[in-house]
Chains A and B, each alone.
Chain A
Amino acid sequence: MASIALDSVRKKFGGRDAVRDVSLDIPDGELMVLVGPSGSGKSTVLRLIAGLEQPTSGRVSIGGRDVTGLPPQRRDLAMVFQSYALYPHLSVRDNLSFGLRVRSVAAAEIEPRIVHAAQLLGIEGVLDRKPSQLSGGQRQRVALGRAIVREPQAFLLDEPLSNLDPALRLETRTQLARLHRRLKATMVYVTHDQEEAMTLGTAIAVMKDGAVEQTGRPMAVFDRPANTFVAQFLGSPAMNLLRGTAAPALESLAPPDRRADVLFGIRPHDIAISSPEEAEADARGLVETVESLGSVRIVHIAAGDKERVIVRVVVPRDARVAPDETVGLRFRRDRVHIFDARTGCRLN
């Protein structure tokens, strides 16, 4: 296993920057999740690490060794593709052993490795089948198995769960986390799903428009987002961003000289609903819709006097709120984030 480092990596496709000036340090054993909306360049970063793309400038190193010019077959990485990319004409067994055979691993060593990986993933029973005879979940595990048998320097996973149905996705996510702990492997995991990133990653890098916006432990990034993009991208429902005019009570939290051009960020979970008459209410608003998710409810409240803004609040299922009701809002002061309204950067 090895660490991975990207040093000022840029990649242009045609005239467009797909990745611009990305530097990342992924220590040995880390499960780094690259997360961002589609088109943010996260898959390109993964392909740059794999060697399937060559950077326009910058360096990629694996285990401290500069591999920028090396083709994929000489980087000793394993990759799980979103489409799984199994070899359709080969049996599962041959799919698993392909990487070992082309690397001239002794036949006597191949079989135990296949059996081990197959047991780890519960695919011992389908070793002699062809990929077309497998279910989606089985194919996904074969793709994973093909990476595991290789015992590579690091694993690269490109949205490996996106083709599974929701129940299987959750189950496989848990298995992946367990697998990572067990193999103590360096993994780079690409996803657009912020929930997957939060639950799976030991570190995350939030990407947008080909650049890394913030890196860190998932909870650290969640608690202190560096800018409004990260703040709204992580967490569901997304963080509320309010101007001071919509929540005058918060204005005292902003730096005195900046009060006019700041945005207050507050997560839907950090707002409580009270009766409108309550003196401590930070703001008042009219309930527009109430969405029930089962265990909790999401309430959309129109607040603000001059400009109307929608504030999302998460309340317990038994909270008494109904549409067209006027309610008071109380913000948790210690959980208020303050951003520069023009640049979006964090101020507090």
Chain B
Amino acid sequence: MMPWSRRLATVGSVAIVAAGLIPVYWTLVASLSPEASLFTAPSLIPTALVFDHYRALFAGLAFWRPIRNSLVVAGTTTVFAVAAGSLCAYAIARLRFRGRNLVLAAVLAVSMFPQIAVVSPLFLMLRQVHLIDTYPGLVLPYMTFAMPISIWLLVGFFRQLPPEIEEAALVDGASRLQAFRKIVLPLAVPGVTATAILTFLYCWNEFLFALTFTLGPERQTVPVAIALFRGQYQVPWGQVLAGSVVATIPVVLILLVAQRRIVQGLTSGAVKG
């Protein structure tokens, strides 16, 4: 028999996981149910599986477009944020310079700004440079939150690496940049991957900027597209749910593929241990 406290913990964990998964499950089931049954007899067990909502999503609503937009914007932002962020983070983690902690505090402070506070000034700035309703017009403002996330996370990862390994590279004749590229980055792959995934997810889920800085379906991202499904008189719930499922798939796929990368510790064997 399991001890009392263990049993309670198990029940608790199951309850928490269920609370998180049931809405996801219900979204999936509902997205596959006929529109009519959604309102007459909502059920957790699917009565009939239909793909009407998905067909409508891609045929009628051309859902490919927001997916492509989301991939371009989130992908580009992630690449830039992680590339620039890793250099910044490495400098903060390793180089000794005046005001280093101030820089890190400033980075954190920037990431604390409520989006709603900066959305109007950003809109005015973007309109000034004619970037409203363009990809750069989304990537640039996304950098304002993607950079702090990546820098903050990567500083932590870089600090975990034993400094002697880089020092060995420097004494061996590598320049700082060579040591960074050939020694530090390969070792930080798990950290960089984790950072890239988190940054990508933030961008993928971002709503307010995407809503404000786009004008029409041409540049709208997935969350905006789903939110704007609602017609004048009714909300096509089936399609909204199907859209949500489609929006979740890339996220789940990325996590499944990269999970091992994140967990794997690459530094084993570097120093005595």
Interface residues of A (CB under 8 A from B): 50-52, 71-73, 75-79, 81-89, 98-99, 102-103, 130-134, 136, 139, 146, 150, 156, 163
B272 CB within 8 Å of chain A = yes
Which residues of chain B are within 8 angstroms of A134 by Cβ–Cβ distance?
269
Q: Give complex CA distance A89, B186 in Å.
A: 7
Asked if residues B187 and A139 are in contact (CB atoms below 8 Å), the reply is no
B232-273 vs A: 1/0 string, CB under 8 Å?
000000000000000000000000000000000011111110
Asked if residues B267 and A102 are in contact (CB atoms below 8 Å), the reply is no
**Contact among A71, A98, A156 for B172, CB-based, below 8 A:** A98
Interface residues of B (CB under 8 A from A): 162, 164-165, 167-175, 178, 182-183, 186-187, 266-272
Which residues of chain B are within 8 angstroms of A79 by Cβ–Cβ distance?
167-168, 171
Say whether, besides A102-B174, A130-B269, A134-B269, A88 and B168 are in contact (CB < 8 Å): no
**Contact among B266, B270, B272 for A163, CB-based, below 8 A:** B272
Chain B binding site: helix, strand, loop or mixed by DSSP? helix
**Contact among B167, B170, B267 for A88, CB-based, below 8 A:** B267
Asked if residues B266 and A77 are in contact (CB atoms below 8 Å), the reply is no
Which residues of chain B are within 8 angstroms of A83 by Cβ–Cβ distance?
162, 164, 270-272
Which residues of chain A are within 8 angstroms of B173 by Cβ–Cβ distance?
73, 76, 99, 102-103, 150
Which residues of chain A are within 8 angstroms of B187 by Cβ–Cβ distance?
88-89
A-B contact pairs, 11 of them (CB 8 A): A51-B170, A52-B171, A83-B270, A83-B272, A87-B169, A88-B270, A98-B182, A102-B182, A131-B270, A132-B268, A136-B272
Which residues of chain A are within 8 angstroms of B172 by Cβ–Cβ distance?
73, 78, 98-99, 102, 146, 150
- Chain B nearest CB from A16 CB (Å) reads 16
Asked if residues A73 and B165 are in contact (CB atoms below 8 Å), the reply is no
Say whether, besides A132-B268, A132-B269, A88 and B165 are in contact (CB < 8 Å): yes
- Chain A nearest CB from B126 CB (Å) reads 42
Say whether, besides A87-B165, A87-B183, A88-B165, A77 and B171 are in contact (CB < 8 Å): yes
Identify 18 new A-B residue pairs, CB closer than 8 A, beyond the known A79-B171, A88-B266, A98-B174: A52-B170, A73-B173, A76-B173, A77-B171, A79-B167, A81-B167, A81-B168, A83-B270, A83-B272, A85-B162, A86-B168, A87-B165, A88-B267, A98-B172, A131-B269, A133-B269, A139-B269, A146-B168
**Contact among B168, B175, B178 for A85, CB-based, below 8 A:** B168
Asked if residues A89 and B167 are in contact (CB atoms below 8 Å), the reply is no
Q: Top 4 A-B pairs ranked by shortest CB distance?
A: A132-B269, A99-B172, A88-B270, A85-B164
Asked if residues A72 and B269 are in contact (CB atoms below 8 Å), the reply is no
Asked if residues B171 and A84 are in contact (CB atoms below 8 Å), the reply is no
Q: Give complex CA distance A204, B40 in Å.
A: 91
Asked if residues B270 and A72 are in contact (CB atoms below 8 Å), the reply is no
Say whether, besides A98-B172, A99-B173, A103-B173, A87 and B167 are in contact (CB < 8 Å): no
- Chain A nearest CB from B30 CB (Å) reads 47
**Contact among A77, A81, A146, A150 for B164, CB-based, below 8 A:** A81
Say whether, besides A81-B164, A102-B178, A86 and B269 are in contact (CB < 8 Å): yes
Which residues of chain A are within 8 angstroms of B171 by Cβ–Cβ distance?
50-52, 72-73, 75, 77-79, 156
Asked if residues A85 and B269 are in contact (CB atoms below 8 Å), the reply is no
Which residues of chain B are within 8 angstroms of A81 by Cβ–Cβ distance?
164, 167-168
**Contact among B162, B174, B183 for A73, CB-based, below 8 A:** B174
Which residues of chain B are within 8 angstroms of A89 by Cβ–Cβ distance?
186-187, 266
Which residues of chain B are within 8 angstroms of A98 by Cβ–Cβ distance?
169, 172, 174, 182
Q: Give complex CA distance A85, B183 in Å.
A: 11
- Chain B nearest CB from A61 CB (Å) reads 17
- Chain A nearest CB from B270 CB (Å) reads 4
Closest B residue to A162 by beta carbon equals B272
